[in-house]
Structure 1
Amino acid sequence: MYSSITAGVAGTGFIGPVHVEGLRRLGVRVKGISSATLELAEEARQQLNLEHAYPNFEAMLEDDDLDVIHLAVPNVLHYPMVKQVLAAGKHVMCEKPLAMTSEQGKELVELAAATNLKAGVNYNLRFYPMNLEVKDRLASNDARIFSVVGGYQQDWLLYDTDYNWRVLADQGGALRAVSDIGTHWLDLVHFTTGLEVEAVLADLTTVHTTRRRPKGEVSSFNNEKLRDEDLESIPVTTDDCASILLKFKGGAKGQLFVTQVSAGHKNRLTYDIATQDAAYEFNSERPNELLVGRRDAPSEFLLKDPALLTGLASPYVNYPGGHNEGFPDTFKQCFRSFYNDILAGDAPTGEPPHYATFEDGLRELVICDAIIKSHEEQAWVYL
């Protein structure tokens, strides 16, 4: 059914090809790709076996074959490119964060609302089946939530010689670790629990205030070893790690620790949601597992199995029990939700979409603004 939709992807770095793969697995026709230069686009076209390499982003927008544009480009480009996509009358799936500031985010929400176009933000981690299961259980039990604690840990920026455009405030934004991965956690907690952040108390740390940058850009998660003479020193102001206390509306409390300098943790998102009935513990490095803690009964250790996940998660599980689904599958399932919404058009569905909307993207930008202010003032900041 998705073959009736044609998509284009902007961006040839780490995440652009992931979008291409996820769309193809879903059955969407991905016609072509664009990049900073035609040479980069052509190289990606050949590697991905696509039909077309666009000479620039504007040429992609002029292609009447394309119904949807996926933006997998540096953060600083999200705001202007989203505006261009909407003006061209095409649906848009944008990588997070939605924009560099909440003011930009508000403008994009208003622009999208004035169209009949679908507009999503790729908070793909919602679509691990166990996260959908937790959302389902919390909704059906309607139990009071006491607290949510957890973190997001990576090590790919551990050394001062680790460099990527994300460390630069003018390219990625004033926040880095919080914006890059912390917002995944914040979005996931909102999605699974329905809790809304009311206030934050944040402490940000820049471990490497100076990094040594290669003389020439590198891709994310690039392990290439460079000589000292190939490096130049640059000042860095963005956060390597952060500790954040949260107050949720209704009284629940939260704690979030984010770091990109924690050795051995490659991509580890964790949460523990404590309710009056049970506690739900998830770890993205073991995404097919869910621990459900009990006090007066044996705790459950649930392995992903479509025969056991019959509610919200069921449509987003494609393999039998014992056949693991992981990070690439979350993209496919996120896009499934988004493209289902496109196919539904204006038909009422009776519930909000499961993928993150521009409104969800704006929420994370507003929280990030509060985190920056809280760190600067070393005080609680209410949203």
Structure 2
Amino acid sequence: MEKLRVGVVGIGFIGAAHVEALRRLGYVDVVAVADQSGGAKRAEAVFVEHGYDDYREMIEKENLDAVHICTPNNTHYEMAMYAMEHGLSVMVEKPFTMTVEQAESLCAYAKEHNIVTAVNHSLRMNPQVQQMKAMVRSGEVGKIYAVTGSYLQDWLFLESDWSWRLDPKLSGKTRAFSDIGTHWIDMVEDIIGERAVELLAEFDIMHKTRKKPKKEVATFSGMALRPEDYEDVPIETEDWCSILFRFENGAIGSLNVSQVTAGRKNQQIISISGSKCALHWDSEDSQELWIGRRETFNQKAPKDPSILSDEAQKVIGYPGGHVEGFPDTFKMQFSKFYQAVREKDTSRKEFANFENGLREMILNEKVYESAQKRAWVKI
């Protein structure tokens, strides 16, 4: 079997995670990386043979089958379009683009030219998330009347915590929602098979001014600097947001998103209330799915391919009792994507594609609009 040739643009925390997961597939070679801060240095750090400062040079020279874009989202449109114009399949990190118009343009080009695309909403690929989806679709949960949950982190808890995501010129008008809240609503809409049709959002900024380091600090590093190493910068995007949703079937949704909740490193919760049973999944206990019933015992379903649904089995790589987590969702997402790339199949819907990226951008716009108006808005 001939291996697929892949290039990765942007080698920070997420870019390096892409490289590691791609290598685990076995039939994909990461032949080059590109990074404007020094491609050769970044390539050496992840043991890739070729490194470029300019992604365009990499695309033109390396005879690639696909490219992964792992840079700030103000660059995604230009890079994705350039890659597609060169006939490449494209995997883009989220948030997808900066605007709905950019997202629409990428979707239209991909559709017209029959290009396999993806947005890295990899958290769909947690086995228990797939189990929830299978139970909802089979009718076991019954009619859904409420979906609640949260996505909580603390990596921006301190006034001195800094990331490029705090700059709206790089990340867009929303931050906590576009960065992590979009994961939650993408998963929920995929699980229940229903889209949100209205929402009400409220934003808050914990640190109205932050201390920006005068030298580069890696995301999640917690690196300590001296007071003179900072400059004060006003903050425009939300640290916290609370959102109410109304779904197509009448179900109510509620979501709390935070990047400033002390002690919560990366916790997602999805709770579904149905007419037959309830489901509850907590990413901090990701190997089990709680199933609540009125008339009999509650259950906890472990991550075990021998007893879970076919859908869950397809994203499990190890036997029951062997823990799988965040990196494994990348591997499973990429596996499904590259099966589609090999088959040139743009119809596959189990992973998020550019159309889902467009949906994400529409939701971003509506969440921002609602927070500014402090009113319900239709989607």
CA contact (8 A) 2:134 2:309 kept: no
Corresponding position of 2:126? 128
Correspondence for 1:326: 325
1:55 Cα deviation after fit:
3.0
SS at match of 1:313: helix
Question: How does the TM-score come out when normalised to structure 2?
Answer: 0.97
**What residue in structure 1 maps to residue 355 of structure 2?**
359
Letter in 2 for 1:106: E
Q: CA separation in 1, counterparts of 2:202 and 2:160?
A: 24
Deviations 1:293-341 (A, max 9, x none): 1111111111100101241121211101110000000000000110111
How far 1:116 sits from its partner (Å)?
A: 2.2
Alignment of 1:35-114 (within 5 A): 35-37=35-37, 39=38, 41-114=39-112
Give the whole-Å Cα distance in 2 for the aligned partners of 1:256 and 1:272: 10
Count the aligned residue pairs.
Answer: 377
Structure 2 gap ranges (5+) = none
Q: Summarize the alignment of residues 77-226 of structure 1 with structure 2, pairs less than 5 Å apart.
A: 77-141=75-139, 143-226=142-225
* 8 Å contact from structure 1 (residues 337, 353) kept in 2: no
Q: Unpaired segments of 5 or more residues in structure 1?
A: none
Distance 2:309 2:190 in 1: 19
Q: Helix, strand or coil: the match of 1:363?
A: helix
Contact 2:32 2:62 (8 Å CA) reproduced: no
Query: 1:247 Cα deviation (Å)?
Result: 0.6
Is 1:309 the equivalent of 2:305? no
Residue 369 of structure 1: CA displacement?
Answer: 0.7
Question: In structure 2, how many angstroms separate the alpha carbons of the residues matched to 1:34 and 1:381?
Answer: 40
* C-alpha deviation, 1:364, in angstroms: 1.3
- 8 Å contact kept, 1:5–1:29: yes
Equivalent-residue separation in structure 2 for 1:369 and 1:96 (angstroms) = 15
In the other structure, the counterpart of 2:236 is 237
Rounded Cα–Cα distance in structure 1 between residues aligned with 2:42 and 2:273: 45
Q: Secondary structure at the match of 1:32?
A: strand
Give the corresponding residue for 1:33: 33
In the TM superposition, what is the alpha-carbon distance from 1:202 to its structure 2 partner?
A: 0.5
Percent identity between matched residues is: 40
TM-score (norm 1): 0.96
Alpha-carbon shift at residue 141 of structure 1 (Å): 1.3
Q: Which amino acid aligns with 2:369?
A: K
CA distance, structure 1, for counterparts of residue 371 and residue 15 of structure 2: 33
- Separation in 1, partners of 2:45, 2:78: 28
SS in 2 for 1:62: helix
Taking the aligned partners of 1:284 and 1:47, their CA distance within structure 2 comes to 30
Q: What is the CA-CA distance between 1:344 and the residue it aligns to? A: 1.9
- Work out the CA distance in 1 between the residues paired with 2:192 and 2:172: 28
CA shift digits 1:338-380 (9 cap, x unpaired): 011112224x97xx42110111111111111111111111110
